[in-house]
Structure 1
Amino acid sequence: MSVLALSRRSALGWMLTTLAAAVIGMPGIALAAGEDSSVLRMVPQADLKILDPVWTTATVTRDHGFMVYDTLFGMTDKGEIKPQMIDTYSHSADGKEWTFTLRSGLSFHDGAPVTSADVVASLKRWGSRASVGQLLLSATKSIDAVNDKTFKIELAKPFGFMLDALGNPNNPLFIMPKRIAETPGTTQITEVIGSGPYMFKKDEYSPGSKVVYLRNPKYQPRKEPASGTAGGKKVYLERVEWVMLPDAQTQANALVSNAVDLIERIPPEQYPAFKKDPNLVLDKQVGQGSIVMAFNHLTAPFNNPKIARAAMLAVNQQALMRAQFIAPEMYSVNPSIYANGTAYWSDRSAGFTGKPQFAEAKKLLKEAGYDGKPVVLMAPTDHSTHNKYPLVMAALLRQAGFNVDVQTMDWQTEIARRAKKDPVEQGGWNIFTTGFFAVDMMNPIVMAPLTGTGDKGWFGWPSSDKVEALKMSFIEEMDPAKKKQIATALQEEALSKALFVPLGEYVPYTAMRKNISGLIKAPVNVFWGLRKN
């Protein structure tokens, strides 16, 4: 080997050592774990501060839920609903009485057996918050435990979405112990006990720094191959650590230097470098992601539909997505509320094109009597796939005639604040942006922004009796062509009132070191099946 080659190798080694030292010096990080095949260190897509998957729809909390809890049914990577905790089930000829029996050997992390009473309590708590859960409970006459392993759901009216509701991965029905599940859905739980493949290590939980999960030695995976959130959830790692790193460059340095093994969602600006690095693999575990903008419809000015629509017409999807994701192959535009490529996608979008219509927006503001009061747009500084949208959106809104107050905060603070219904003067908000996966935006029943109506709905609390009626018609209709017509009419209503606004779609790449394998294709991020060689 030449002296020049040796010199270059030495320089490279010095650089990686320096990067590793910089990352290791951060709180909660040590390189030693990166060399242990039983420990996986990963950077989650956001910090985990809210542990209750019923109280919030935050993606990182859902990821946490799939680590700790199990579900009655799961969804394969092909979209099929399959039994998970359930062994057998049946229903009456008219579809109004459903009977379910749990698998044998299910137990919670504290050693207690999973019983039907736990399921009933979990179902009721979930149904008080989740969109599809609310619809299921509204159609239900009773939910009862028959014995420790069997429970029944008796419907008051037809509900053709039963298994889809119980197995939906976008807002999952996680099964908790009865004593925990009896906590009202409006109150966050304080104890994390599930029956899933990993156990939450409370004594090592440090928000902003680290979350630790241990393999559940008593977990009994199904015999079927793992697929999506269904099948055998096999765990080959003794310990998984979620390491919170503050910015895109630090995350990249940690992955390149082997201080972490995986980044759940790559910082977009690192895509070109990661793609060229021979030690890394870029993979797409889930389908495309969808970005939306939500308004607080309970308070001024967006309690006026004309003003909400004016803000919607200021949207420039191409500019927003380009600013956040940079590489053209990482994003696309989509004016539909339904994800591209899904069954109910439609281009009938009530005049919304995803391109700015500033003249029309200004006209609507004048008609509505907008008084120039600043609208508060929340901007997360620590979320690498959400931090650019608010800045670009603020500029677009100003061009349309809005006075905008961009308030920066970390993502978890934004998640907590968006639950506040108060006026801005009392700590409330007017606008925020957030993201979902394709499975979250495939039909109007699972779509979080269309949960409920008014102050009983999702964050932003849009209200439309017509949307609610169309949702019920969608559930009851069995003809595919008519379901498509209903879904299209619902989209037109939602966009005409600017209940929420689609901003575009992106590719949520996961980056791993080459010695990591077993990433399961799924509708949402899941982390069983991983091996470290």
Structure 2
Amino acid sequence: MLASLQAYAQPAPQRVLRVAPHADLKTLDPVAASIVITRMHGLMIYETLFAWDANLVPRPQMVESFSTSADGLAWTFTLRPGLKFHDGQPVTSRDVIASLKRWMARDTIGGKLGEYTDRMEAVDDRTFVLRLKRPFALVPFALGSAVGQIPAIMRESDAASDPMRPVTEAIGSGPFRFNRAEWRSGAKVVYDRNADYLPRSEPPDGLAGGRVVKVDRVEWLIMPDPATAAAALQTGEIDIWEQPSQDLIPVVTGNRNIRVERYSNLANQVMLRPNHLYPPFNNPKARLALAYATDQADFLAGGFGDERFWRRCNAYFVCGGPNGTEAGTEAYAKPDLETARRLLRESGYNGERLVLTTSNDIAAIGRMAEVTADALKKVGFNVDVQFADWGTVTTRQQNRGSPDQGGWNLFVTYASGATMQSPMTNIGTNMACERAWAGWPCDAEAERLRGAVVDATDDTQRKNAVEALHRRLAEMQPYRVLGQFDQPYAHRTTISGVLIAPVMLFWNIEKK
């Protein structure tokens, strides 16, 4: 059986898959950064204990078997045999425990699981026990998370480091190895097939199942200019354009050797994120002013053009998803500029300069930032739009300093529907103060209501808990929901096997 799996994991033909990703890779640690490009990198080289299938159902990945005690307070996991890191060390329970502790200190659903966790104990090298203070039915879902900061299993020596400082090593146990020698920031990122990797025997399904690599090398070629990426796809210089600019989709689809398709079942959500640490957005009235001052259609049209790619939606947990209520948002479904001006005055804002940090590296985000400035100026906000490369912007987002000391007041971004569809994984609705995502919203009542979603004992109770939470979020505005859009990818017809998943995956892809 082992020999047959090894043969299956090591395809003979030499293949190089060339991809234009949506951004450059700056941070290597998928536990320290929740941005998509770092998560894509993390899923190349690391694995998680469980993995979500195409329907976001958790399936065992690194785990061979698991069991739960009758009272739901003890979960015992046994790792698959033969797991080893890229440096040859075996993956052990100690690595897993250290990795999970680090992840719980950073991630939205990881932090919630951490609140319920009493301790973790290694039984032997392959078996460990997660002991809870009270039942948490979403344990497999959490341990398979592919959104936010993913629960990547690292070497104990890496995972034991300060969770607030990114790990600079990139040694995982996944199907690809990071080729540091050929990494050129701003130009190229290279991954080689891990010949020692043993995939699961099940068919691939989303992130779950057998992660069989069918190319020998993946190159990310950084192309910030969309026209350059479009031309490269048409000439065959690249095989995949991960996030084509919508205004260039008609150009590439005119080529009979190119197809444009989706790799996600849920639309992406756009958000305007305020910094809750500093005036005026430490006052919920100023945050509500953002909601009343903005028309989603202006942002979506500016960012994504043709209306067939986007829709209005005020659901924090995504329209079309299992938790997609819009309860409590009815009042600002359309702009009300007078109400926005009144709330802004009542917040104590007096025209101080507000820093909106953004980038044109991701063209839609840069365009929506400019729409933001125009919209907010109409109601009295004094917005200073500051452009930088995307890596600098995402680094600055983590800066808790005041805006005049390298911090910020606002930014526009978007996240996958898979990330935002659940109160447990939605990074923006985590209002746990210093443990929240960039912007650091703080509201004990929202966190109590989020806990009620976890504690719900049936679907009806959980639905009611989600609606109550959503109404509170609509009042507190951790961020302004700017609607949602579909992001296709474009590929040469020589490429097949791209899986439905929260981010683009590179195993299972074949190149003719």
Is 2:206 the partner of 1:228? yes
**d(CA) in 1 for partners of 2:431 and 2:101?**
16
Does the 8 A contact of 2:280 with 2:349 survive in 1?
A: yes
Equivalence for 2:228 = 250
Is 2:409 the partner of 1:430? yes
Post-superposition offset of 1:312: 2.1
Query: Helix, strand or coil for the counterpart of 2:366?
Result: coil
Post-superposition offset of 1:189: 0.5
Is 2:297 the partner of 1:318? yes
Does the 8 A contact of 2:264 with 2:501 survive in 1?
A: yes
Post-superposition offset of 1:75: 0.8
Compared CA separation, residues 152 and 256, structure 1 to 2 (3 A):
same
Post-superposition offset of 1:37: 5.8
Post-superposition offset of 1:134: 0.9
Is 2:502 the partner of 1:526? no
Post-superposition offset of 1:373: 0.5
**d(CA) in 2 for partners of 1:149 and 1:349?**
48
Does the 8 A contact of 1:134 with 1:452 survive in 2?
A: no
Match of 1:460 among 439, 443, 447: 439
Give the counterpart letter for 2:154 in structure 1.
M
Equivalence for 2:327 = 348
Match of 2:174 among 189, 193, 196: 196
Equivalence for 1:398 = 377
Equivalence for 2:368 = 389
Equivalence for 2:142 = 165
Does the 8 A contact of 2:92 with 2:125 survive in 1?
A: yes
Is 2:161 the partner of 1:183? yes
Post-superposition offset of 1:354: 4.1
Is 2:106 the partner of 1:149? no
**d(CA) in 2 for partners of 1:384 and 1:148?**
48
Post-superposition offset of 1:368: 2.1
Post-superposition offset of 1:353: 3.4
Does the 8 A contact of 1:263 with 1:511 survive in 2?
A: yes
Does the 8 A contact of 2:358 with 2:366 survive in 1?
A: yes
**d(CA) in 1 for partners of 2:492 and 2:317?**
34
Equivalence for 2:396 = 417
Is 2:454 the partner of 1:470? no
Query: Helix, strand or coil for the counterpart of 1:217?
Result: coil
Match of 2:196 among 197, 218, 243: 218
Match of 1:517 among 464, 486, 496: 496
Equivalence for 1:360 = 339
| Count of residue correspondences | 498
Does the 8 A contact of 1:128 with 1:185 survive in 2?
A: yes
Equivalence for 2:74 = 97
Post-superposition offset of 1:437: 1.1
Give the counterpart letter for 1:62 in structure 2.
R
Give the counterpart letter for 2:226 in structure 1.
A
Match of 2:102 among 125, 128, 131: 125
**d(CA) in 1 for partners of 2:14 and 2:247?**
29
**d(CA) in 2 for partners of 1:149 and 1:497?**
45
1:12-23 → structure 2 map (5 Å cutoff): none
Superposed CA deviations along residues 207-261 of structure 1, whole A, max 9, x for unmatched, are 1111000000011011111011100000011110001012110111111111111
**d(CA) in 2 for partners of 1:248 and 1:452?**
36
**d(CA) in 2 for partners of 1:280 and 1:80?**
32
**d(CA) in 2 for partners of 1:83 and 1:166?**
9
**d(CA) in 2 for partners of 1:444 and 1:469?**
12
Structure having the higher Rg: 1
In structure 1, runs of 5+ residues without a counterpart are 1-35
When normalised by structure 1's length, the TM-score is 0.92
Does the 8 A contact of 2:14 with 2:216 survive in 1?
A: no
**d(CA) in 1 for partners of 2:260 and 2:440?**
37
* Runs of 4 or more above 4 Å deviation: none
Does the 8 A contact of 2:431 with 2:446 survive in 1?
A: no
Equivalence for 1:9 = none
**d(CA) in 1 for partners of 2:314 and 2:430?**
20
**d(CA) in 2 for partners of 1:93 and 1:452?**
32
Superposed CA deviations along residues 274-324 of structure 1, whole A, max 9, x for unmatched, are 233211011101131111111100011111111111122112111100111
Does the 8 A contact of 1:418 with 1:429 survive in 2?
A: yes
Compared CA separation, residues 304 and 486, structure 1 to 2 (3 A):
same
Give the counterpart letter for 1:471 in structure 2.
R
Give the counterpart letter for 2:393 in structure 1.
E
Match of 1:70 among 47, 50, 59: 47
Post-superposition offset of 1:90: 0.1
**d(CA) in 2 for partners of 1:178 and 1:199?**
18
Match of 2:33 among 49, 56, 68: 56
Post-superposition offset of 1:351: 4.1
When normalised by structure 2's length, the TM-score is 0.95
Does the 8 A contact of 2:27 with 2:38 survive in 1?
A: yes
Does the 8 A contact of 2:291 with 2:332 survive in 1?
A: no
Superposed CA deviations along residues 424-449 of structure 1, whole A, max 9, x for unmatched, are 11111000111111111111111111
Compared CA separation, residues 481 and 264, structure 1 to 2 (3 A):
same
Query: Helix, strand or coil for the counterpart of 1:360?
Result: helix
Equivalence for 1:492 = 471
Equivalence for 2:5 = none
In structure 2, runs of 5+ residues without a counterpart are 1-12
Identity percentage of aligned residues: 37
Match of 1:134 among 103, 111, 115: 111
Over aligned residue pairs, what C-alpha RMSD do you find? Answer: 1.2
Please, which moves more after superposition, 217-226 or 447-456? Answer: 447-456
Give the counterpart letter for 1:246 in structure 2.
P
Does the 8 A contact of 1:55 with 1:186 survive in 2?
A: yes
**d(CA) in 2 for partners of 1:136 and 1:258?**
46
Match of 1:336 among 315, 319, 325: 315
